[in-house]
Structure 1
Amino acid sequence: MIDLHLIGMGTGNPDHLTRAAIAAMNAADLILLPRKGEAKSDLIDLRRTICADVLTAATRVVEFDLPERDTAAPYLSAVERWHDAIALAWRDEIARHLPTGGRLALLVWGDPSLYDSTLRIADRLRADGLAITVTVEPGITSLQALTAAHAIPLNTVGAPVLITTGRKLRAGGWPVGVDTIAVMLDGDCAFSTLDFRGIEIWWGAYLGMAYQMLIAGSLDEAAERIVEARASLRERHGWIMDIYLLRRVVPIDELRLR
């Protein structure tokens, strides 16, 4: 039996870990840390730092190479094959390091519940017949880190919030019935395809890290600055994690009258 603990580690700052997360890491027999290539070495370094900071027990920490997604293939089918490959990599590491079972911990960026597929990958192991139980220790999401960094509320009074992806925003435009949109996984600055009028944006990259960057303002004023900053940061670090919140501050009906 494998007792799998998925630990939300926030956005890379050890201070974001809960006490429950720290206890689960120290109670584990094994922690697996994924390597994502030289260009993203910062990500494994942050996980190493977290382990060094909080581990007081004799927990084994093992690194493994994470399979890469085929970015040339159609998105959904490529993701399915990628998740299959990750599940196989997990199974191989479990067979190698926990052949008789035990407690396994994985550090999940942000929180396992929000735009993360770790739980779905764990389901693949269960479907393949591995005896596994799954426990989640929640973490601070990038959305929480964003609103905290800008010191803003997520929603307006009594109003809904839509959490979506850049791909969806670009394909469908501003959705009907919401005045606030949180956008994740946007590699192409989908906000630049919107009618800028009456929209405010709060953007953040590398939230919680030493090189965190924030930009906020009206979309017509901030959009170009964000596009330029994002390109510069990605070139400098070799990777980028960012998120933004859009809010319509002028109702669409009023815009139509202008």
Structure 2
Amino acid sequence: MSGSSSRLDLHLIGIGTGNPDHLTAQAAKAMNAADLILLPRKGEAKADLVDLRRTICAGVLTQPVRIAEFDMPERAREGDYRQAVEDWHDAIARVWQGEIDRHLPKGGTVALLVWGDPSLYDSTLRIAERLTRAGREIAVRVAPGITSIHALTAAHAITLNPLAGSVTITTGRLLRDHGWPQAVDTVVVMLDGGCAFEGLDPAGITIWWGAYLGMAHEALEAGPLAAAAPRIAARRAELRARHGWIMDVYLMRKEQG
């Protein structure tokens, strides 16, 4: 990466779950204040994702802002998971730096559109730290966004937490490996590449599931886990086959004794 000392303002903008209505006024202002907006391409199977970002830019920008698209590096699927992620983040940072140096060699303001919010199960802030270690003076600013959790609870018209109860946000990998967290009423599961809920004893558990939240093809399921799990698994497989990708999240709650 370049060792340029010119100042760079990096704006990480939460854009919600794909619905342009989810953008805040702060997000819209930050996009219009940028000199450059970087949009990632993730291959033909996920072309919908860059198309949504293009739609958001077209609807929000009220003045000319340079937009540059780049191909996202792929994460290695073999070997140590954490090391693969670290290497992947290094590769993404190198691509960002190359685009920034090419389009803004003297510095300026760059905006990146982040699904949901940059603080929740997203690595954009960690990748940005790699740019600060490249010798360039960088100021990172965040415009918070609506998370998939907010979109899920709104879609089902439910509260995130039970009265005086606790909530744990975890991943499908951790739920599969360790089961239901101890002394927790409600579990929100993100980044589940499969259906980790199938490994739980369903007795007394209710699930609320959503995919493509906020998008035109939003899909929702809910009910007692024993009855809903097969429906969700079948629908999830059908949707993934139809669209080539899926983004989903679910909330589960145990009956309080």
TM-score (norm 1): 0.96
2:33 to 10, 27, 40: 27
Query: 1:31: Cα distance to partner?
Result: 0.2
Identity rate, percent: 67
One-letter identity of the residue aligned with 2:236: R
Q: Gapped runs of 5+ residues in structure 1? A: 252-258
Does residue 92 of the first structure (1) align with residue 133 of the second (2)? Answer: no
Deviations 1:197-219 (A, max 9, x none): 00000000000000000000000
Letter in 2 for 1:100: K
Equivalent residue, structure 1, for 2:83: 77
8 A contact 1:7–1:138 mirrored in 2: yes
**1:205 aligned to 2:211?**
yes
For 1:1-258, what aligned pairs fall within 5 Å after superposition? 1-249=7-255, 251=257
AA in 2 matched with 1:201: I
Q: Which amino acid aligns with 2:155?
A: A
Query: Aligned residue for 2:3?
Result: none
Name the aligned partner's letter for residue 184 of structure 1.
Answer: M
Using the alignment, how far apart are the partners of 1:168 and 1:182 within structure 2? 12
Deviations 1:4-58 (A, max 9, x none): 0000000011000000100000010000000000000000000000000011111
Shift of 1:75: 1.5
Cα distance in 1 for residues equivalent to 2:177 and 2:255: 22
Distance 1:127 1:182 in 2: 34
How far off its partner does 1:131 sit? 1.3
After TM superposition, give the deviation of residue 160 of structure 1 in Å: 1.1
- Aligned with 1:176: secondary structure? coil
Asked whether the equivalents of residues 111 and 140 of structure 1 are also in contact (C-alpha less than 8 Å), the reply is yes
8 A contact 2:185–2:256 mirrored in 1: no
Instruction: Give the superposition deviation at 1:76.
Output: 1.1
Q: Deviations over 1:146-203 (max 9, x none)?
A: 0000000000011110000000001110111111000000012100000010000000
Q: Which amino acid aligns with 1:116?
A: D
- Tell me if the contact between 2:42 and 2:71 (Cα under 8 Å) persists in the aligned partners: yes
Please give the root-mean-square deviation of Cα atoms over the aligned residues, in Å.
Answer: 0.7
**Mind listing any 5+ residue stretches in structure 2 that lack a counterpart?**
1-6
Structure 2 letter corresponding to 1:145:
A
User: 1-side partners of 2:254 and 2:41: how far apart?
Assistant: 39
Shift of 1:74: 2.4
Distance 1:178 1:21 in 2: 34
How far off its partner does 1:127 sit? 1.6
- Aligned mates of 2:211, 2:37 — CA distance in 1: 27
TM-score norm. by structure 2 comes to 0.96
SS of the residue corresponding to residue 159 of structure 1 reads: coil
Aligned length: 251
* Letter paired with 2:111: A
Query: SS at 1:245's partner residue?
Result: strand
Deviation at 1:250, TM superposition (A): 5.1
Cα distance between partner residues in 1 of 2:77 and 2:228:
29
